[in-house]
Structure 1
Amino acid sequence: MKTVTRVSQGALAFALAITSAVAMAAPAPAPEPAGQTTEAGEETIIITGTRSTGFKASDSPAPIQVLGADALKTVGQTDLVQALAQILPSAQVQAFGSDQAAFHPAVKLRGLSPNHTLVLIDGKRRHGNPSVVVAGTVFGGSAAPDLSLIPQDAIERIEVLQDGAAAQYGTDAIAGVMNFIMKKRDHGGSINLTGGKYFDQGGKKYDIQGNVGLAPFEGAYLNLTGERRYQGYSFRGDYDPRVVDTGVSTTANTGASGGRYILARFPGVTSRSNYPEVNQIFGDGRLVLTNLSYNFGWQITPDVEYYSFGTYSHKNGRTFQNFRLPNVVFGKRRAANPGVLPAGISAACLNNLAVATCAAVSADLPYQSGFAPQELTIEKDWATTVGLKGEVSGTTWDLSSTYGIGRSSINVINSANAALYYDTSTTTSNGYSPTDVHNGDFIFSQWTNTLDLTHEFDVGFAEPVTIAGGLEYRREVYQLKAGELASYYVGSGVAQGGIQSFFGYAPSDASRNFRHNFSQYLDIAAKPIDGVTLDAAIRHEHYDDFGDTTVYKLTGRYDLSPAFAIRGTASTGFRAPTLAEGFYSGINVSVSSLTGIFPANSAGAAALGISSLKPEKSTNFSAGFVAHPVSRLTVTLDAYSIEIKDRIVRSSTFLGASSAAGAITSPSVLTALRGNGVPVDSVLAAIAGGAAGSVGINFFVNGVKTLTQGVDLLASYSTDLGDFGHVDWSLSGNYNKTKIKGVSLPPSNVNQAQLLFDVYAQADLTKTTPKYRATFGANWSMGIFSANLRESYYGSAYSIISTPTNGSARERLSVHPAFITDLDIGVQIAKPIKISIGANNLFNKYPAKYPDFIREQQRVASSTGFIAKYPSFSAYGVNGGYYYARIGVNF
């Protein structure tokens, strides 16, 4: 089989450099790379990427990386998401997120969407996240499984298949598969206590995990793990220019004299904690997380085993929202005062000429010092798998059922509904609004039933032919439940409707949707002659909402010698939209902006000419080699090319109104928003009054055709230093580039000058992921001492933004290349006890700030954008260095 893979010149240069180095070395067998061995020192037998048994990681015909529990412990961060981001260069994590995304950091492989990676636990599909990322970034639309709900101490190892595997495991495995293999020990256990904080400010964390193995009765094991994690707030922003005297006159948000007006009218603002940094939105939220897991097995007979495993999690997270000024919430007593504008500001107060005359105006302003809303997310999640497996007449079989459900309750606290307060007030009495409001719920459940059969046939080849086949039935349910009335109440429209900071989900947003999927697969693996491995898979799937599809995969490996092998794959994929992508509906609000997100099949979308979502289709090619050029050295390198047609992305924002000069607007957007009951008039009034803001709408759409190409490198070497111990060296790298080969036309009922996926959105998709990523590691051990050094390189990345004063001006916002150093030092003070100290980002590096001229324009305009001084898409985050200490006890 001949596979031709087209990659860029940078990728070819990267591959040729490694190939030349390997060709110059003398061939010799080598042991398995560090982190991919069992406790006995033997190479791990993998179960991912092949239906055959007995395969070792270095024998795999497809690229696969194995991360042992020991490797996870060298990271310091106990969250699996952070551990994968630091160890695996082909993985990128959403390092900073706001709102719900702050507590659901997504992971993506090979520069694709998190929705393109299939997550398994012990080979069984994990259910997705009930919340969807609605931000217009490379992570937009993600509803992938939440890896933070899997306790680290429950994991034996992680097998990461970095290859398209839709035909083997499911049509959504376009970028690869992460398979978490859980501990099955029936004795012993461990307790690990970790604590740390950021170098500069905030982010205090502690984590305690315990694992124990039990043998409840003969032939059975029960492995239990518990975790309790706490994360405190951090803040990496700047002061709020709305509450200081900037010396510049502005009408944006505060009045003609900017912050001078707020200080004169409301001196209580200066008494707020953290003044003038009253807006704490740019930083980590507060998280309290509890995880529990179990893994049970019972060998009923020599040929039949019963097994069951599962997790339960409870998550409580709080994030700050934009600070609200005192004049946001007001009643009729103030509006009725002579000389007072509808916003409650008299001409004298606007010009700060006679502060005393403002006293009566302030009589019905309940928040004289402003208020700082927070979003509160309360999540409950559980999953369980039960199954039987065994062997009959040489045929192995596995029958299982997995059910998982997550429920995310969205709330806003320390806030108010300005419209409700105004409408319940009179000219003689104050109004009312609750401060804590329930906004709504997201619920997602998945029930998966599988039957897998495998049989070996001796047909005269070098090894028996393995034929595997199976069936899978899956039912998914996605539900969005409306919040309480105060969360979405609009009222008369004089004051802004909806609970401040996060508009609640109205009954018009609510829905309950489900999907059935039935699939069958066939996989044939053979070694016709020594050194040649072939694998062919075909999978047919039927969706009750998207019809039928058939996908394929061909894999081949040829061992030219014990020291060198080549391998390659070709596959197709078919990813149906997640139910969250298809049916999410809601409103995003800021101080003076509103953006509605409608389902693609909604009436509002149809009014603008948006069509319903359809599945993505992909083609995946890879080619590479495995080499053992010298003793104790292993090198693997694989190039890949992934084309996705009809890729689902969040569209550009179609504006109905904007304060920015040169902005493209469409009156039909306002009509569509009003038709769906979205309150736009109060925001339009604020914009008309001089506030910087906009009203818009966007959707999840089949917007682009993309081509992602890259190279994965993994090299490992071990050195015996005699009396000075042992060192395991590793070098892993990833080159990745995505380009857009086509963009769909804008919908028919909007201004055609506005692209469906504009230059800003295109840059977010293709340029915010570093093109180059590499990690060098040295793990040294000597007696009771150990040290792990990891040096990570992040290539440059950028997004394109418009300037605050000109919506059509384009500027590049860059994150420059950086080396990030992690260090972990441990000492075994007694046989069962180990103490470790360490640091992630040891030298406390931050990405470059926004350009000075952009920040000055934000400051002059009293814009809340001034608060976020670092690019939030930085792959290594915006919080700087983190140091920690850990004590572990094994028994």
Structure 2
Amino acid sequence: MMMETVLSRSIRLMLASGMMMSLGLSVTAQAQEAAATQRVEVTGSSIKRIAAEGALPVTIVTAAEIRALGVTSAVDLIKKLTAVQGSTGESASVGGASYGFSGVSIHNIGESRTLVLLNGRRLAQFGGQTLTGFAAGFDLNAIPLSAIERVEILTDGASALYGADAIAGVVNFITKHNSTDGDITLGYSAPANGAVEKRFSATKGYGSMIDDGFNVTMTFGHDERTNLKSVDRSFADTGKRTFTQNGKSYQKQQFSPSPIPANALDDNGQLISPFQKTTGACPSKTFRVIEPYNDGSGLVDDYCGYDFVKDLQIYPERKRDSFMASITKKIGDNEVYADLLLSRTTQISRIAAVPGGVSIPAGSALHNKYLLPLGITNDSLAFYRLADMGQRTSRDTSEFSNIVVGTRGVLSSWDYNLAYNHSESNVKGNISGYPGALAVRKLTSSGLLDPFVGPGQQSAAANAAIAGARYDGYWDGGVSKLDTLTLNGSRELMRLAGGAMMLGMGINFNKEAFESKPSLFAQAKLSDPVAGTLCDGTAANPCDQRFGDESSVPPYSASRISKGIFGELIIPLSKTVELGAATRLDSYSDFGSAVTAKASVRWTPVASVLVRASAGNGFHAPTVPQVNGVQQSYGVTSNKYTCTSALQATATAFGGICQPGNKQYDLLAGGNSSLQPEKSKQATLGIRFEPNSALSMGADLWHVQIRDVFGQLTEDLVFANPGQFNSSWTTKRDTGTGSTYLAFLSNNQNLGKSYSTGLDLDFTARAKTSFGQLSSQLSVTHMLREVTQLEKNGAYYSALGNFAELGSVSFRTQGRLTTGLQSGQFATTLALNFKSGYQDQATSVEVLDAAGAATGTETIRKQVGYFSTWDAQTVWTPSKTWTVTGGILNVFDHQPPFVPSTSGANRGQQFGYDDRYYDARGRTMYVNASYKF
């Protein structure tokens, strides 16, 4: 079944006849082709009708355009869409526990509010989603790009057909069907010094629906990529960076207070480096850190900070395999069909060796040897990095399966489609390089482990004991399932002045289920994680937790059933005016019922102009984990914090103590059974102008407002005002040291309201010249407004060009300009990708004098500038069977701008740039060769 606007069909026809369209994203425009007679279903509507530009803004990207963009995956394709902002990328898995998830967010309204479809059908959410709502969307890694015929992007939300929860919009991947073509493609991409990618795909179809009454189309794809290390990029190779702003020199140091050899606490509670005190210099991979206390005491921490940035892999190693099959059989005037998708993605990321605290009792051999000579007489804590155990490694595997069986055709004048769909995402996270906290305590108390010596300097017995304490195996994961039964139909009701009045109706039954599946180690149910020995919590058989970042994760499972019924009318009042109306009733087993509606209008005052508008409301229930997740350890804060007097008062009130020095705090989170659904209103107003076949332009103004927004209070807001947010605090006992520390509690809440407004623009021009067909296209998204409340009835904050309270950035402007030339067997394209700058988060940095010495600290907000890259590509088609494509992404190797901030939602451990917004791979040369048969 074809789904395309008339202009996109015209583009396809021009391509088939040798005319070169712009190699960027196709635009939608007014219908120009009166001869179109095939009824098709367009994303955003349930009604089959004559293909034409509708009242809703739908952008279509064809397979040819995807190839021309030089992208190698659905993840990279989504990055090229100018309307997409705020999506999670693969690099977030570097220390971010994302299990390799990559999502899509339209207009930065959210991945959980952007609905991803495969052939118009819902898919199971990611099995590695968290109870806070992170990764509560579809993982794009499961989509095989080689199987895609086109992608349709609806940038208007709350579709009656697909669901009222599509607040931001819909991304619909349409796969190859009813084809007898064969295709084999090989590809290779080569950035400098890492992230090298190899690709293979094969597609073949059998049987003609017209001649044979059946068709089978199958696609297999495989790709693999090597890792990219931080030390292989000058902008990301160290945690100690100097920079200038407004004529002043600054220094920002990103580090861990747990180096090797270890730092320790003296009798005043100050953090020192015994190694530095003894030798006068800091050890390898560290630099000296001097931090005055903020409580007016005059005390100073003077220690060696570990440059963990040098140990990161900023792009993870990855392998993906996918298989897709589509089977269609004609029976009379109807068809029965089945679609199958199987995919498996494995991603490996590595970060610095595990850090943690170790107790050093007064009178112990270690205390007497290293601390007593420095005047430390009391019990102490050593902050140590177990480098001899090797890097912490996460091996995440995501398996996705989707099967659809159904029948479609015409019955009693109804175009109908009845289908059952089972979709499942199974995520497994394996770790290595982590010991148990009790195991490390035993190593230290036995005298085997010496935290005050450097890497490789432990005794043979200690090395054997360290190797024996290393856990290597399954850690955590989850399974998300979705079962759906749908029946959709559309028909013509009557003839009006403008044409046929059309009715669409449908019903659906959904069952969502989620199961969290932590290992026994993650549940803190083992006394010896390596041997798998169960514990009972007694003094004789205590339960161990992960050293350095303890995480006791209870398992849980939950499910919900939802039902929906919808109706839609298309009313062509005249040849120039068409009205649309849709309504939907959703009923949830855990949230009751909700009625949503949408109205639209399409007006063509003259043949070259189309004006369209829509307005509607939406309803978005929280995910199953957001409601049912058990409160648990959730890692550590993104930023490090020193203990202010206000923070100490909060710690005392909760019966705990502050973290010593400048450290990250433990983070806990849990579901909220009182969470209420989000409710939205959205509207669009657009105009398209196509005076002739050589020129097309358009603009769509959109607005989305949401109340009862899901979220958590940001850590920077709470730590800056600890006394104002008592519900955001708790305590956590450290198994390794026995101390009880203040911890940040980040439970799900309904925070308040949000408003977003923006403008999507596009312009396309074509010209036939003496040297070939020339075309150029500009696509731009410009954000006009974006504000959000962080608590009900609270102040509004904005991320628009501003990285501050919300923990992320919305770029005011981003776009892509492409120019292409088709001449004979060659098609060459040059593309400019650009985005506006922003003001970085307020960050404390050191002020440097003319000699480079630190003279004090200052809190600054760095202005991050406009950023752009150029791409170039040539496609050579020597025959009907062969196509060779060569290109360069980021031709001039433009490096990401420096940013000193380190916190932010869905951000990895990278430093020096923000991996959420800029690609660390840099200049990338690629080649693809396709053979068609």
Structure 2 length-normalised TM? 0.76
Partner of residue 345, structure 2: 315
Partner of residue 392, structure 1: 411
Distance 1:802 1:696, change over 3 A: farther
Deviation at 1:582, TM superposition (A): 2.7
Partner of residue 408, structure 1: 427
Counterpart secondary structure, 1:457:
strand
Distance 1:669 1:159, change over 3 A: closer
Q: Would you say 1:94 and 2:142 are equivalent positions? A: no
Determine the C-alpha separation between the residues in 1 that align with 2:151 and 2:908: 40
Q: Would you say 1:873 and 2:904 are equivalent positions? A: no
Partner of residue 354, structure 2: 324
Deviation at 1:745, TM superposition (A): 4.8
Q: Would you say 1:707 and 2:751 are equivalent positions? A: no
Equivalent runs, 1:400-799 vs 2, <5 Å? 400-423=419-442, 427=446, 433-485=469-521, 488=524, 498-500=545-547, 503-504=550-551, 506=553, 509-584=554-629, 586-589=632-635, 593-601=664-672, 612-653=674-715, 672-673=730-731, 678-680=732-734, 685=739, 695-722=743-770, 724-740=771-787, 742-745=789-792, 763=804, 765=806, 768-799=809-840
Distance 1:454 1:401, change over 3 A: same
Deviation at 1:698, TM superposition (A): 0.5
Distance 1:428 1:195, change over 3 A: same
Equivalent residues of 2:713, 2:790 under 8 A apart: no
Q: Would you say 1:226 and 2:220 are equivalent positions? A: yes
Counterpart secondary structure, 2:315:
coil
Partner of residue 885, structure 1: 927
Determine the C-alpha separation between the residues in 1 that align with 2:198 and 2:215: 30
Q: Would you say 1:375 and 2:423 are equivalent positions? A: no
Q: Give CA deviations for 1:110-168 in whole Å, capped at 9, x if unaligned.
A: 22001111112111112211122689xxxx63311112211111111111111123323
Equivalent residues of 2:545, 2:552 under 8 A apart: no
Partner of residue 850, structure 1: 899
Deviation at 1:519, TM superposition (A): 0.6
Equivalent residues of 1:387, 1:400 under 8 A apart: yes
Determine the C-alpha separation between the residues in 2 that align with 1:457 and 1:662: 62
Determine the C-alpha separation between the residues in 1 that align with 2:883 and 2:569: 47
Question: Unaligned stretches of 5+ in structure 2?
Answer: 1-5, 20-32, 231-235, 240-254, 287-305, 449-461, 528-536, 641-662, 848-856
Determine the C-alpha separation between the residues in 2 that align with 1:460 and 1:865: 57
Higher helix share: 1
Determine the C-alpha separation between the residues in 2 that align with 1:547 and 1:244: 50
Supply the AA of the counterpart residue of 2:350: F
Determine the C-alpha separation between the residues in 1 that align with 2:875 and 2:373: 63
Equivalent residues of 1:279, 1:867 under 8 A apart: no
Partner of residue 206, structure 1: 198
Q: Would you say 1:287 and 2:286 are equivalent positions? A: no
Equivalent residues of 2:809, 2:838 under 8 A apart: yes
Supply the AA of the counterpart residue of 1:734: T
Shifted more, 433-442 versus 464-473: the winner is 433-442
Equivalent residues of 1:167, 1:538 under 8 A apart: yes
Distance 1:628 1:265, change over 3 A: closer
Deviation at 1:735, TM superposition (A): 0.9
Deviation at 1:90, TM superposition (A): 4.1
Counterpart secondary structure, 1:148:
helix
Deviation at 1:798, TM superposition (A): 4.0
Supply the AA of the counterpart residue of 1:826: V
Determine the C-alpha separation between the residues in 1 that align with 2:274 and 2:208: 70
Partner of residue 43, structure 2: 48
Partner of residue 179, structure 2: 186
Equivalent residues of 1:378, 1:410 under 8 A apart: yes
Deviation at 1:238, TM superposition (A): 2.9
Supply the AA of the counterpart residue of 1:836: T
Residue among 120, 126, 129 paired with 2:126: 129
Partner of residue 654, structure 2: none
Equivalent runs, 1:822-837 vs 2, <5 Å? 822-837=871-886
Deviation at 1:651, TM superposition (A): 2.4
Shifted more, 838-847 versus 221-230: the winner is 838-847
Distance 1:668 1:809, change over 3 A: farther
Q: Would you say 1:340 and 2:366 are equivalent positions? A: yes
Partner of residue 60, structure 1: 54
Counterpart secondary structure, 2:228:
coil
Equivalent residues of 2:750, 2:792 under 8 A apart: no
Structure 1 length-normalised TM? 0.79
Counterpart secondary structure, 1:187:
coil
Deviation at 1:842, TM superposition (A): 1.6
Question: Unaligned stretches of 5+ in structure 1?
Answer: 1-28, 353-360, 602-610, 688-693, 747-753, 859-863
Counterpart secondary structure, 1:72:
helix
Equivalent runs, 1:102-251 vs 2, <5 Å? 103-132=100-129, 141-199=134-192, 201-215=193-207, 218-236=212-230, 237-239=236-238
Determine the C-alpha separation between the residues in 1 that align with 2:858 and 2:152: 46
Determine the C-alpha separation between the residues in 1 that align with 2:217 and 2:543: 53
Deviation at 1:681, TM superposition (A): 6.6
Distance 1:262 1:87, change over 3 A: farther
Partner of residue 8, structure 1: none
Deviation at 1:629, TM superposition (A): 2.2
Determine the C-alpha separation between the residues in 1 that align with 2:818 and 2:352: 41
Deviation at 1:699, TM superposition (A): 1.9
Equivalent residues of 1:800, 1:810 under 8 A apart: no
Shifted more, 216-225 versus 64-73: the winner is 216-225
Supply the AA of the counterpart residue of 1:568: A
Distance 1:424 1:52, change over 3 A: same
Q: CA RMSD in A?
A: 4.3
Determine the C-alpha separation between the residues in 1 that align with 2:135 and 2:885: 35
Deviation at 1:487, TM superposition (A): 6.8
Determine the C-alpha separation between the residues in 1 that align with 2:369 and 2:622: 48
Deviation at 1:737, TM superposition (A): 4.2
Counterpart secondary structure, 2:76:
helix
Equivalent residues of 2:182, 2:203 under 8 A apart: yes
Identity %: 19
Counterpart secondary structure, 2:65:
helix
Partner of residue 820, structure 1: 869
Deviation at 1:291, TM superposition (A): 1.2
Partner of residue 656, structure 2: none
Supply the AA of the counterpart residue of 2:872: L
Equivalent residues of 2:82, 2:814 under 8 A apart: no
Residue among 331, 335, 343 paired with 1:300: 331
Equivalent residues of 1:30, 1:631 under 8 A apart: no
Deviation at 1:436, TM superposition (A): 0.9
Equivalent residues of 1:439, 1:487 under 8 A apart: no
Supply the AA of the counterpart residue of 2:571: A
Determine the C-alpha separation between the residues in 1 that align with 2:834 and 2:388: 45
Q: Give CA deviations for 1:603-624 in whole Å, capped at 9, x if unaligned.
A: xxxxxxxx72110000011111
Counterpart secondary structure, 2:200:
strand
